[in-house]
Amino acid sequence: MTSTSETEQSMRDERDAEEVSRFVERFASDMTEAGMQRMASRVFAALLADDDGSMTSAELAMALQISPAAVSGAVNYLTQVSMVGRERDPGSRRDRYRLHNEVWYATFANRDRVLTRWENTLKGGVRTLGEHTPAGARLAETAAFFEFLQSELGGMMDRWREHRKTLDLPVADERGRP
């Protein structure tokens, strides 16, 4: 009888490494076009395509054919925006970079805090510039837009959690593995 880990390994062995690499670069390009830093996009896409959702700096550098310094800069960005966590391999001095569980949910939830900060700063700008000036009116509209996004984001996130329950998706463990 074949164990689950043997089956998973067999599936990984059957993958076309070039196709996986093309997927990583395609998705990274999509994220870069949306505004994410290029190297951070590549590192994130590589982690997303990894079965374990985690890799060391050396593994990332090899997979993406980039320098360890490029990996470090990308990982610093990804940890700042709460898309990736850093953990130590047991008995090792090597760091392992891991996708957070429910990475997209956590990323959008984190955006809520950013939107609040931007909204408050914009409202201060309205007071500074005057609400009846063209610049003040533009800032007021932007602040109102962010306020609207926040009011919708919470409900949308709740609806996603309920919708996810209806899908036949594997449930991840505490380390993000199905």
pTM tops 0.75: no
8 Å CB contact between 129 and 142: no
Neighbours of 10 (CB within 10 A): 10
137-166 pLDDT, tens digit each: 999 999 999 899 888 888 888 898 899 889
Q: What is the pLDDT of residue 4?
A: 47
Average pLDDT over residues 29-58: 94
* Residue in 98, 110, 122 with CA at minimum distance from that of residue 157: 110
Tell me which residue of 166, 167, 153 sits closest to 119, measured CA to CA: 153
State the average pLDDT over residues 26-48.
Answer: 95
From 83-87, 91-95, 141-145, the region with the lowest mean pLDDT: 91-95
